[in-house]
Structure 1
Amino acid sequence: MTQYGLPELVPVGELSKEEFSPQVTFHCGQTFGWTQLGSSQWFGWVERNPCIVIEGNGKVTFLAPAGAMEAVARYFCWDVRIADVLKTFPKKDRLLWKAAEQSPGLRLLHQDPWETLAAFLLSSAKPIPEIEKLFRRLAVWFGTTPYCIFPPPFPSPEKIASAEEKTLRTCGVGYRARYLYRAAVSLAHNKHALENLCQLTTDEARSRLMSLEGVGPKIADCVLLFAYRRWEVFPVDRWIGRVLTRYYRVPRRTQPQGKLESFLRSHFGPYAGWAQQYLFVWSRKNLA
C-alpha cells in the first residue's frame, strides 16, 4: 500500500476485535496522536514508523513498513491478552466488571515516553478532543515530514527546546507552555534521561519524573503506565478520585501516597493500571 506520500505499508499483523477496539482505545484518554480516517481506519506513528489500523470482518489489521513489525507488536502489546488481564481483577468488584464490559477491546499501549510526558503536560483541565487537536497542531507546527492529510510525528524534545516559550503559546498551549518547554530543554540536555528510567524501581522513576517542573503524581503515573508498562500503577485524577470516593470508600481527604498505593495494588492486582483505564472511561460516561 503506497499512497499520500507514505512509504509502502504492508500487513504486519492482526488482532481480533475482542482483543483490540481502535475506537475505544484511541479515544479513551491514554493516547492523543491517532487520526481517524472514515469509520474504520486510523493513522498514527509507531516508533517513527507510519501505521494504519483497519477494522473489519471481526478483526483489526495493522499496516506498516515491512521492517516495523516488532515496533508495532511492542506498541500494541501483542504479548498481553485481555482475557488474562481480566482474570486478575477481583471477582466481587461489580463496578469494575461493569466498566470492563462497557469497553470491550480497550487495550493499553506501550507509547513513547517523551510523547506521553508531553501529552499529559498538555492535558490539564482539557477535554480529550481538545488535547488531540493541540497534540496534532504541535506536530504540524514543528514537524519536518508532512504527508498530505496526515500530521507528522510529534516533535522531539530538541525541536521543542529550539523554540521559545512564547511560540508554544502561539500554538494554543497556554500556561502549559512553560512546563512543556522546560521539560523539553531538560531532556534535550540529558538525552538518555527517559531511557534510564527503565532501570529504576517504580517509586524511583516516579520521583525522577516529578523532579520536572509541572509533573505531579498523576502525570508521572500516567507516564509510567502508558510508556513504561508499569501495569501496577494506578493514576488518580478527578474522575478516578470520584470513583474511589463514591464506590470504594476512599476518603476525600488526601491519603498518604504509600497507603493509597497499597490499597490500590492489593485490591486491583498486578494489572491495576488496566483497571484504572476501564474505570476512567466508565466514570466519564456515567459521572459527568
Structure 2
Amino acid sequence: MIRHLSVDQSGTYPFHLQETLEGRQDFRWRKLPNGSYSGVLDNTLIHIHQSGDRLLYQSTPDSDLTDLLTSYFRLTDELDAIYKKNTKIADRDDHIAALIEKFPGVRLMRQPDPWECLVSYICSARATPPRITHRVETIATQLGRPLTLNGETRHTFPDPQTVLDAGPDRLAQMALGFDRVPEAISEAAQRILDGRLDLDRLAQPDIHYDEAVSQLTDLYCVGPKIANCVALFALDKTDAFPVDSRVRNTVKRLYPSLQHSTDDQIIAWAQDLFGPHAGYANQLLYMG
C-alpha cells in the first residue's frame, strides 16, 4: 500500500529528501533504480520518494509511519527560525549563509535506534561512507531478520543481545575494519545489557550534551568524533559538532584563524558561534 506524508514546503527552506538522505548521517539508505530510496528504520523496510509537498512510501510491515518519519526527518524543526530569527546562523556567518543557499532543504535526522547509530559510527573508523554502509549492512544481513518489499530483501539491525550472543569472533569474520572494532561493539552491547549505558536515557532533554558525550567516550574505541555523531544524529543533542577529516578541512579552509586549532577548539568555537543549533551548521559544513 502506498501511503503519503505531507511536508510543509511554504517556508524559505523546503524539505529536500535527496539532500537529506545523501548527507551521510544514516548509512542504511540506498537509491533504487526507480529513484526511490530504500532504508530499514525501526525494524521496518521502507521505500520512499518525494513528490512536491508529499513523501510517498511503502513499508514492510505495512503501517502508517507518519509519527516515525516526522520525528526521523525532524519535520517539526522550524528551519526559518533556526536560520533567521534568534539564533541567526545565516546572519552570523557568510560561509554558512552560502551553504544554506546551496543546500536549503537539508535536515538533520533523529535516528530512532541510538544503538544502531553507535555501532554504525564505531564501524566508521578509517572508512569511506560506502565502506561504512557495507559494514553496517553486513552486520544486519548476518544477524538481523529479513524483510521483503517489492522484491527487495533487507534485514533489521540486530539488538545488543543478539550481537553479544554472536560474540567478537563472529563479528571479526565480517571484516568490519581494524581489529578493535568487534571488541568495541561487543563491549558496548555488554554495557547496555548490564545497565551501565542507557542510550534512551541519554536522549532525554534533561541530559546535556557534555554528559552524553562523556558517557559515550567512556566506551572502548569511542572518541569525540563518534560520540558527537551519535549525540547529534540519535540523542537529540543539536549542539553536538562532530569533527571528522572532512569537516576539519572545510573549517580550516573557510576560517583561517582556526588553521592551527585542535578538534576540541573547533567544537568550542562552533558551539559558541552557533549555540544550540551547531549541529545544523556542522551538517552544512560536511556537505559543503
TM-score range, shorter-chain basis? 0.7 to 0.9
- Correspondence for 1:163 among 163, 166, 169: 166
Give the partner amino acid of 1:97. A
**Match of 2:102, as an amino acid?**
Q
CA distance in 2, matches of 1:125, 1:192: 25
Instruction: Work out the CA distance in 1 between the residues paired with 2:63 and 2:166.
Output: 35
Distance 1:63 1:169, change over 3 A: same
Unaligned runs of at least 5 residues, structure 1: 2-8, 283-288
Is the counterpart of residue 218 in structure 1 residue 225 in structure 2? yes
Question: Does 2:35 correspond to 1:30?
Answer: no
CA distance in 2, matches of 1:168, 1:19: 41
- What is the rounded CA distance, in whole Å, between the counterparts of 2:33 and 2:83 in structure 1? 31
The match for 2:66 among 35, 60, 69 is 69
The Cα of 1:62 is off from its aligned counterpart by 4.1
Bigger Cα displacement from structure 2, 140-149 vs 267-276: 140-149
Query: CA offset at residue 137 of structure 1?
Result: 1.7
Task: Tell me the percent identity.
Answer: 26
- The offset of 1:114, in angstroms, is 0.7
Q: CA deviation at 1:139?
A: 0.9
Cα distance in 1 for partners of 2:177, 2:187 equals 14
Greater shift after overlay, 27-36 or 185-194? 185-194
Distance 1:79 1:129, change over 3 A: same
Distance in 1 of aligned mates of 2:126 and 2:239: 25
- Aligned match of 1:185: 190
Q: Using a 3 Å threshold, how does the CA distance of structure 1 residues 262 and 171 change in structure 2: closer, same or farther?
A: closer
State the Cα deviation string for residues 187-243 of structure 1 (Å, max 9, x = none).
233287111212422111111111110111111111111112211111111222222
Once the two structures are superposed, the pairs formed by residues 80-91 of structure 1 within 5 Å of their partners are 80-87=77-84, 88-91=88-91
For the 8 Å contact 1:218–1:235, the answer to whether it is kept is: yes
Counterpart of 2:48 in 1: which secondary structure? strand
| Residue equivalent to 1:286 | none
1:45 aligned residue: 40
Q: Which residue of the other structure, out of 51, 59, 76, is the alignment partner of 1:56?
A: 51
Tell me what 1:110 maps to.
110
Length-normalised TM-score, structure 1: 0.85
Q: Distance in 1 between matches of 2:75 and 2:261?
A: 39
8 Å CA contact 1:21–1:106 kept in 2: the answer is: yes
Deviation at 1:63, TM superposition (A): 4.2
Distance 1:43 1:113, change over 3 A: same
Query: 1 CA distance for matches of 2:64 and 2:55?
Result: 19
Residue-pair matches, total: 273
Structure 1 position 196 matched with structure 2 position 201: yes
Q: Which moved more, 1:115-124 or 1:170-179?
A: 170-179
Per the alignment, residue 141 of structure 2 pairs with 140
* Counterparts in 2 of 1:260 and 1:241: CA distance versus 1, 3 Å: closer
1:229 aligned onto 2:229: no
Greater CA drift, 58-67 or 124-133 = 58-67
Q: Secondary structure at the match of 1:11?
A: strand
Which residue of structure 2 lines up, in the alignment, with residue 275 of structure 1? 281
- Structure 2: runs of 5 or more not aligned: none
Structure 1 residue 11 and structure 2 residue 12: aligned? no
Give the Cα separation in 2 of the matches to 1:21 and 1:129: 22
Q: In 2, distance between residues paired with 1:57 and 1:13?
A: 9
Question: TM-score with structure 2 length normalisation?
Answer: 0.85
Match of residue 79, structure 1, among 73, 76, 79: 76
Q: Any idea what the Cα deviations from partners look like across 1:69-91, whole Å, max 9, x if unmatched?
A: 22222111121133333223142
Match of 1:127 in 2: 128
Aligned twin of 1:244:
251
Does structure 2 conserve the Cα–Cα contact (< 8 Å) formed by 1:27 and 1:128? no
